[in-house]
């Protein structure tokens, strides 16, 4: 909201119809893609890389995974939303990550990124990706934070990638 603070991109508003910082979101995604490229140069196959983040970082992880040309292993998206949602197709995507695994976790009492944002995001993801690969978990009483149950959910998903 044009305040000076560490962030991936500017958040202009927090409602489904708020204007979004398209330039900032796309630049941040390019920065993450450059990090992925660097890891690949270091010998890590892109299909072993999982993007993850909380709030704005989770939003950026989703956006980057859906726009990169690198095949990724998955996304862990916590208390977030899909930025630039309207820019994506109404149906299945044809990119390299159309089968990507997504774990999305959200608290049902989140006052900053309301559960509705998570619900709208998972509906969109299931229309674009293989719905069997998209997992959405809600946590009773959790606000804009995390809890041990979220950590166990992440652990259980990542245990399949060891």
Q: Which residues are catalytic?
A: 55, 110, 144
CA distances from 46 to 51, 97, 155 (A): 11, 11, 20
Q: Which SS3 state, helix, strand or coil, does residue 159 take?
A: helix
3-state secondary structure 96-127: CCCCCEEEEEEECCCCCCCHHHHHHHHHHHHH
SS3 call for 68? coil
* Alpha carbon of residue 145 to chain centroid: 16
Q: Give the residues across from 104 on adjacent strands.
A: 77, 136
Residue 62 has a CB neighbour count (10 Å cut-off) of 28
SS3 of the chain: helix, strand, coil, percent, to 5: 45, 15, 45
């Amino acid at each position: 909201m044009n305040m000076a603070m560490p962030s991936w991109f500017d958040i202009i508003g927090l409602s489904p119809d708020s204007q979004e910082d398209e330039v900032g979101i796309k630049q941040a995604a390019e920065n993450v893609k450059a990090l992925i490229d660097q890891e690949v140069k270091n010998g890590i196959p892109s299909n072993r890389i999982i993007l993850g983040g909380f709030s704005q970082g989770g939003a950026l992880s989703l956006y980057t995974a859906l726009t990169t040309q690198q095949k990724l292993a998955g996304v862990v998206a916590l208390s977030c939303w899909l930025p630039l949602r309207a820019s994506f197709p109404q149906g299945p995507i044809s990119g390299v990550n159309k089968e990507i695994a997504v774990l999305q976790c959200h608290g049902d009492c989140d006052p900053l990124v309301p559960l509705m944002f998570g619900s709208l995001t998972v509906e969109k993801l299931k229309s674009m990706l293989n719905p069997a690969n998209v997992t959405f978990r809600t946590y009773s009483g959790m606000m804009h934070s995390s809890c041990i149950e979220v950590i166990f959910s992440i652990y259980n998903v990542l245990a399949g990638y060891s």
